[in-house]
A and B are shown apart, each in its own frame.
Chain A
């Protein structure tokens, strides 16, 4: 069976003046995959993610996200993806229900859809009693689960998660990965960055960026074999230490 490509990237580059932030990266991401996007600070991850989410126009190369072109169809891309980061997710001064309503409204969901789905979502998250509470009053772990659910509320084809688990306790971190697995099993493609190397093991495939290039791509098992390493941590260190440029 031919796997369906939801992200197709060919020779994609981004230059700022004479600095090449992303240097001709080529890769595909398949439907329902958990795609780990790793790299040291300054390796070009954020720039690449901004291009793939329609926020930054590439300097050269080609890319399609959810079937849409990253040069000409950025608005369509934005409608068909979800995004969540640890830093920015929910409005603290809005209630749980208001946050859901707000994000769903931004994505143009109908009132009926929002009403029905909000009810089932609150039930699924066991948060019916909290629907009217301000988000800032929730424990961090709940906020995170809610943020993720809000990011995929409009049923996007792809969800981009930018360091979603930073600073979270180890139990909540694993509960969060459970949600990621469920989303992937339901057909949503998950594109995730992380600094936790054990989480790299949970991905279907992992890519590692070094100095704007994509220096490694494969399943965790393949990469460990290729780099003759015992763990993903070792693979990462081996590659990232080669970096000439740094975040500095």
Chain B
């Protein structure tokens, strides 16, 4: 067990110098050489101290492998990575002492109570709940009424808050959150991101992964990950600004026939549903041309210019 290892090593308490994270040519391959799965195929990025950095990608993109490497729970097949100036392979003890990790799957002790779990994690990191209470207070207060309930009996939202409290109790320099909002409704997701912003204000570097493209805008910078490759890395505004093509939004009363028609036009590079509109990427021509083209085909539609979002960019990068 990971935590047992930490207890045995608690004599060695080197701390990270800062919250800097650097990843260079990281490769992760699973399975036998003849039937290997390349989970990460040469990943490079840097995260500045105190940054709120998002890893955006669908299931199977390699997000969890990357987090497990950075938290020293998995040895990379190739490449180098440093967290707070320490190497993830050589200096794993120092890294474990001062990072917080919230895995995608609930990993606290289900048969310990809320309070016992928190006390346990504080103890193995040689600290106490009272020492760092200010950091978790906002989050912990919401589950405090259930402090004597076993963790296994908590609802999803409460488990998440407890897991975050436990990941923070030793005041880590870097916090790794693997898909904290997956399966969570839109309101709770917003509340969670507000919590992250308050933590960021305390100077903690936060790496957070998510399959929800709309959450990219809440990060300072994001890395787009797909099939173990990095599609792009920039500020959300930088990514959307690099879209570089005319994007139109089209709608009328008959959305399905409209989509089929749009896809049949040779000047249309892509047409796909996007909420109440279809988004259309044009190879050539203008908004006016498309409107006229639709009209000539017997289908009037509202055609307006659309601002590309992260999802538009992600799909574009996936194809090219």
Bound CA span A140–B60, Å: 8
**CB of A132 within 8 A of chain B?**
no
Which residues from A are CB-within-8-Å of B186?
Answer: 40, 195, 197, 233, 236-237, 240
Closest B residue to A169 using CB positions: B58
Is B156's CB under 8 angstroms from A167's CB?
A: no
Is B139 in contact with chain A by the CB < 8 A criterion?
no
- The yes or no answer to B120 lying at the interface (CB within 8 A) is no
Pairwise interchain contact B157-A198, C-beta atoms closer than 8 A: no
A71 contacts B by Cβ under 8 Å: no
Contact of A241 among B154, B187, B189, B211 (CB under 8 A): B187
What is the total number of residues of chain B having a CB less than 8 Å from a CB of chain A? Answer: 37
Known: A140-B60, A171-B315, A177-B273. A195 touches B155 (CB 8 A): no
Q: Measured between C-beta atoms, what is the minimum distance from A232 to chain B in Å?
A: 7
Residue of A nearest to B226 (CB): A169
Contact A231 B276 (CB under 8 A): yes
Among A170, A177, A221, A231, the residue within 8 A (CB) of B213 is: A170
Provide a sorted-by-A list of 24 A–B residue pairs whose CB atoms are within 8 angstroms: A41-B183, A42-B157, A140-B58, A166-B182, A166-B183, A167-B58, A168-B59, A169-B318, A170-B58, A170-B311, A170-B315, A195-B184, A195-B186, A201-B275, A220-B276, A231-B276, A236-B187, A237-B187, A240-B185, A240-B187, A247-B155, A247-B158, A248-B143, A248-B155
Given A198-B275, A201-B276, A232-B275, check contact A167 B59 (CB 8 Å): yes
Q: Cβ of B274: which chain A residues have Cβ within 8 Å of it?
A: 198
A225 interface hit (Cβ, 8 Å):
no
Nearest CB in chain B: distance from A50 CB, A = 17
Report B41 CB to chain A, min CB distance, Å: 16
Residue from A232, A233, A248 within 8 A of B142 (CB atoms)? A248
Q: Is A174 an interface residue (CB 8 A)?
A: yes
Inter-chain CA distance A243–B188, complex, in Å, is 11
Query: Is B243 part of the binding interface, using a Cβ–Cβ cutoff of 8 Å?
Result: no
Contact with B along A223-243 (1 / 0, CB 8 A): 000000001110011001101
In this assembly, does A246 line the interface, its C-beta being within 8 Å of a C-beta of chain B? yes
Residues of A within 8 A of B306 (CB): none
Other A-B contacts than A167-B58, A198-B274, 4 sampled, CB-CB below 8 A, are A40-B187, A169-B318, A247-B157, A248-B146
When distances are taken between beta carbons in the complex, the residues of chain A under 8 Å from B319 are 171
Q: Which residues of A contact B314 (CB under 8 A)?
A: 169-170
**Shortest 6 CB-CB contacts between residues of A and residues of B:** A169-B58, A167-B59, A198-B275, A247-B157, A40-B185, A240-B187
Is A103 at the interface (CB under 8 A from chain B)?
no
Q: Which of B154, B188, B212, B318 contacts A41 (CB 8 A)?
A: B188
CA distance A247 to B187 in the complex (A): 11
Q: Which of A132-182 contact B (CB under 8 A)?
A: 139-140, 163, 166-172, 174, 177, 181
A39 at interface, CB cutoff 8 A: yes
> How far is the CB of B261 from the nearest CB of chain A, in Å?
15
Decide: A40 near B188, CB < 8 A? Known: A168-B58, A170-B311, A248-B142: yes
List of A residues within 8 angstroms of B58 by Cβ: 140, 167-170, 172
Provide the residues of chain B in CB contact with A102, threshold 8 Å.
Answer: none
Is A202 part of the binding interface, using a Cβ–Cβ cutoff of 8 Å?
Answer: yes
Are A167's CB and B311's CB within 8 A?
Answer: no
Chain B residues, Cβ within 8 Å of A140: 58-60
Whether B315 pairs with A195 at a CB distance below 8 angstroms is no
Give the chain A neighbours of B315 by CB distance below 8 A: 170-171
Most chain B beta-carbon contacts within 10 A, residue among A174, A195, A220, A231 = A195
Please tell me the number of chain A residues within 8 Å of chain B, measured between CB atoms.
Answer: 36
Q: How many Å lie between the Cα of A196 and that of B318 in the bound state?
A: 20
Is B125's beta carbon under 8 Å from chain A?
Answer: no
On chain A, the residues within 8 Å of B183 by CB distance are 41, 163, 166, 195
Residue of B nearest to A45 (CB): B185
Answer yes or no: B256 CB below 8 A from chain A CBs.
yes
Question: Which chain B residues lie closer than 8 Å to A201 at the CB level?
Answer: 273, 275-276
Whether A246 and B273, one on each chain, are in contact in the complex, defined by CB atoms closer than 8 angstroms, is: no
For B189, give the chain A residue with the smallest CB separation: A195
Q: Do the beta carbons of A41 and B213 come within 8 Å of each other? A: no
B133 within 8 A of A: no
Contact digits for B128-167, partner A, Cβ 8 Å, 1 yes 0 no: 0000000000000011001000000011111000000000
Find chain B residues with CB under 8 A from A169 CB: 57-58, 61, 226, 314, 318
CB-CB under 8 A from A236, the residues of chain B are 186-187
> Which residues in window 192-224 of B have CB below 8 A to A?
211-213
Interface flag for B106 (CB, 8 Å): no
Q: In the complex, which residues of chain B have a beta carbon less than 8 angstroms from the beta carbon of A221?
A: 276
Q: CA of A237 to CA of B58 in the docked complex: distance in angstroms?
A: 24
| Separation of A248 and B60 alpha carbons in the complex (Å) | 30
Query: Does B272 reach chain A (CB closer than 8 Å)?
Result: yes
Give the complex CA separation of A42 and B188 in angstroms: 11
> Chain A residues with Cβ under 8 A from B184's Cβ?
41, 195
Pairwise interchain contact A41-B272, C-beta atoms closer than 8 A: no
Known interface pairs A197-B186, A202-B273. Does A42 touch B59 (Cβ–Cβ under 8 Å)? no
